[in-house]
Amino acid sequence: MGTENALYTILVEKIKQDALVLPTLPEIALKVREAADDPEVNLHKMSDIIGHDPALSMGILKVANSAILGRSVKVETVNQAVTRIGLRQIKSIATAMALEQVFVSKNEIVAMYLNKSWTKTVDVASVAIALMTFFLKEHKHTSLALDTLTLATLVHNIGILPILTEAENHPDVFANPTFLQQAIIKLSSDIGAEVTRAWGFSEEFTSLVQNWSDLTVLPHDVHYLDFIRAGAIYHNIFKNESTKKVLLKSYVNKGLMPDIDFMQTPEFLDMVADVKTMFN
């Protein structure tokens, strides 16, 4: 059996047996999520929890001072940042800002793949978040929330982690990246869904991770999937040109963007650049 087929078969079998080693959320993200679910938590207590993690503190400050919140006066403390973001949104935002800590490995080759994956994830997220930021300016009464999209875009490709972890046991597969890429294309969505379930995310997130690349799933109304897919279109993850044009036209018709070329305008590109600074 070829190495690539062996890896694929092992992954499928482990999924069936619920035996796949799934990544765990960073401890700080777990603490924030637990605190956010506590009806007694307040802004001071949440700020104290976040303040114990320097990397997360910096991430939260970047979000609070970002263009997506549209504030000209900068905040300088974690308490001010949490107050600006709000307790309702902080659960998703803090989880999103901590996710980079999951994309690490002591294996040099795996680490390289994970770094590339995280970079691509941030690229897609930056476009999706920028697009929703413009959308929310014109649709203030939508039920869609920016914090939900931020977390959704950063976990949409999380299924790659268990695949690369398993691939460590089959180093030959790295000699031909095409084999590994095929396993990722075929399995990452389903595996990603398992990861979100293991992390205790809502079924909404599981559905987003499982369906974002399945273009037979086409929501009638504006949906988080649309924003994630717009990011994928922008970064040429969807290769078929006619498919991309059909999707973009549908986004214009749904009011997601004013015209099909909106994502090429200087105004939009500036927003993408501003959003991306949150992840640097």
Angle at 149 between CA 51 and CA 269, to 5 degrees: 95
Amino acid at 145: A
Predicted local confidence at residue 17, as pLDDT: 85
> How is the chain split into domains, by residue range?
3-24+103-279
Predicted local confidence at residue 16, as pLDDT: 82
Cα–Cα dist 142/128, whole Å:
16
Predicted local confidence at residue 1, as pLDDT: 44
Task: Give the C-alpha distances (Å, rounded to integers) separating 50 from 37, 104, 110, 222.
Answer: 15, 21, 29, 33
Token digits of residue 255: 């009011």
Query: pLDDT by residue for the chain (280 residues), tens digit each?
Result: 455 567 778 888 888 888 888 899 999 999 999 999 999 999 999 999 999 999 999 999 999 998 887 767 889 999 999 999 998 899 999 999 999 999 988 888 889 999 999 999 999 999 999 999 999 999 989 999 999 999 999 999 999 999 998 888 888 888 778 878 888 888 899 899 999 999 999 999 999 999 999 999 999 999 999 999 999 999 999 989 999 999 999 999 999 999 999 999 999 999 999 999 999 8
Predicted local confidence at residue 80, as pLDDT: 93
Predicted local confidence at residue 40, as pLDDT: 92
Cα–Cα dist 216/30, whole Å:
34
- How far out from the chain centre does Cα 236 lie? 17
Q: Give the Cβ contact number of residue 13 at 10 Å.
A: 11
pTM: 0.92
The CATH code that applies to domain 3-24+103-279 is 1.10.3210.10
Task: Give the C-alpha distances (Å, rounded to integers) separating 94 from 34, 79, 195, 268.
Answer: 12, 13, 18, 25
